[in-house]
Structure 1
Amino acid sequence: MKDKTSEVLILKAAKTVFIKKGMDGARMQEIADEAGINKALLHYYYRSKQQLFEAVFFNAFSLLAPQINYILNDDSSVEEKIIKFTENYISFVSQHPYLPNFVIQEINRNPDFASKFKGNSNLPNLEKFKIQVSDEVKKGLIKPINAEQLFINIISLCVFPFVGSPLIKTIGIIDDERFTQIIDERKTHVADFIINSIKI
């Protein structure tokens, strides 16, 4: 029988190694060493690195999705939602920087990966956000914009620096310390940029 404590320990160790090495660079032996267990026991819980990575990913997703859902469906204004979304999303991905690349790699490698999200009750629901954007446009509070396009703009500006970090560091000649500062600054810069683009 699998022990829940051991499984939590393995997931924590795997997250640590994946953050340091990424999906391709991580080795099962490293994860076993980090967890303080032997490789055979690790394979008893997770047969492959892919299976373990997916477990780490969906564990992280289960923490992020409710936060995003709450923001999208609370009673705050569109502007307040943008501010809270960028702050929460960038803060979370800063702690789980392997997530964006993993999703992109998996979708490119396995188009059916997205189907694993179906039926997830925590999957962000955009319906209220779409209605709210439409209402604020009609009231003249924000410029005419499609809610889906607005959401894609927000997500894109939040995600790209993590996905494109090697390119950004090379082109900008930025070291890791400065890059971390830039990511932290984007918690407010992205929100300001988006809000100014839709303000009347």
Structure 2
Amino acid sequence: MVKKKKDDTTEEKILAAARKVFTTKGMAGARMQDIADEAGINKAMLHYYFRDKDKLFEVIFMEEANKFFPKINIIFESEAPLFEKIELFVNEYIDEMVENPYLPWFIMNEANRDAEQFFAKVWAMTKNPRPMKFLEQIEKEVKKGTIKRVNPLHLLLNLLSMTIFPFIARPMIIKNLKMSAQQFDEVIEQRRKEIPKFIIESIKK
């Protein structure tokens, strides 16, 4: 029996459809039938390419991680001034979260399920973030007296949490504050400036 060869065009069509469905319905709300319908194929064909939703999402996540983490490393390891790096970092993360709002939930779910195995797989297939130069740069600025005494790790964690948390808490924020999706998106765009401004104002002398 001749084994059927998978078609790259069909696979890309499935991945594009899955990204759209995951973005609009989230990881939990997306169904394989939704993805098959969006891709214009039957469910059996979808399962031939990807056996389940988790495997399909993993492929998408790894593709995004391979594009995203190198961009973050370029920022971390550049010779740009500290305040400029903070602005670039926030903008890059928001760009990624706007394009792929389901990623934080996926990472949290996988990390809670088996953090060691998940991150071992991620770092084996992608370039993991290398923040050491960024942390060292913060410490140098402290010693030079250009910024207030601040723990570099806490500064990095503040940047991450202030940028990512609204995407994780999006349903709660929209419901509790009675916001529309459009209003939420507008707030996120404002945060591109508000987060760096808040961080920089808190540390500069």
Q: TM-score, normalised by structure 2?
A: 0.92
- Residue-by-residue CA offset, 1:60-88 (whole Å, 9 max, x unaligned): 11221111111111110111100011111
Q: Which residue of 2 aligns with 1:12?
A: 16
CA drift of 1:192 comes to 0.6
CA distance in 1, matches of 2:155, 2:183: 29
Residue correspondence of structure 1 range 164-179 to structure 2 within 5 A: 164-179=169-184
TM superposition shift of 1:110: 3.0
Task: Give the CA deviation at 1:121.
Answer: 5.0
Equivalent in 134, 147, 160 of residue 129 of structure 1: 134
Q: What letter matches 1:190 in structure 2?
A: I
Task: Say whether residues 1:101 and 2:105 are aligned partners.
Answer: yes
1:44 corresponds to 2:45: no
Task: Provide the rounded CA distance (Å) in 1 between the counterparts of 2:25 and 2:127.
Answer: 29
| Alignment counterpart, residue 157 of structure 1, candidates 152, 162, 176 | 162
List, as ranges, runs of 4+ consecutive aligned residues in structure 1 with deviation greater than 3 Å. Answer: none
CA distance in 1, matches of 2:177, 2:69: 32
Question: Sequence identity, in percent?
Answer: 44
Moved more, 158-167 or 58-67: 58-67
Aligned to 1:138: 143
How far apart are residue 53 of structure 1 and its match? 0.9
1:121-174 superposed Cα distances (whole Å, 9 cap, x missing partner): 521101211221111111011112222211111010000000001221222221
Helix, strand or coil for the counterpart of 2:199? helix
From 48, 54, 60, the counterpart of 2:64:
60
> How far 1:44 sits from its partner (Å)?
1.3
Distance in 1 (alpha carbons) for counterparts of 2:149 and 2:109: 34
1:148 is matched with which residue? 153
Does residue 21 in structure 1 map to residue 25 in structure 2? yes
Cα separation, 2, equivalents of 1:169 and 1:42: 33
Work out the number of aligned pairs and report it. 200
Question: Letter of the aligned partner of 2:109 in structure 1?
Answer: Q
Q: Secondary structure at the match of 1:144?
A: coil
Q: Are the equivalent residues in 2 in contact too, given 1:133–1:147 (CA < 8 A)?
A: yes
**Deviations for 1:33-75, whole angstroms, at most 9, x for unmatched residues?**
1111121221111111110011111111122111111111111
Give the TM-score taking structure 1 as reference length: 0.95
In 2: Cα distance, 1:166 partner to 1:54 partner: 23
How many Å separate the matches in 2 of 1:153 and 1:142? 16
Q: In structure 1, what residue type is equivalent to 2:18?
A: A
Determine if the alignment matches structure 1 residue 70 to structure 2 residue 79: no
Report the residue type matching 1:198 in the other structure.
I
8 Å CA contact 1:32, 1:38 repeated in 2: yes
Instruction: Give the Cα–Cα distance (whole angstroms) in 1 for the partners of residues 141 and 36 of structure 2.
Output: 52
- The one-letter code of the counterpart of 1:52 is L
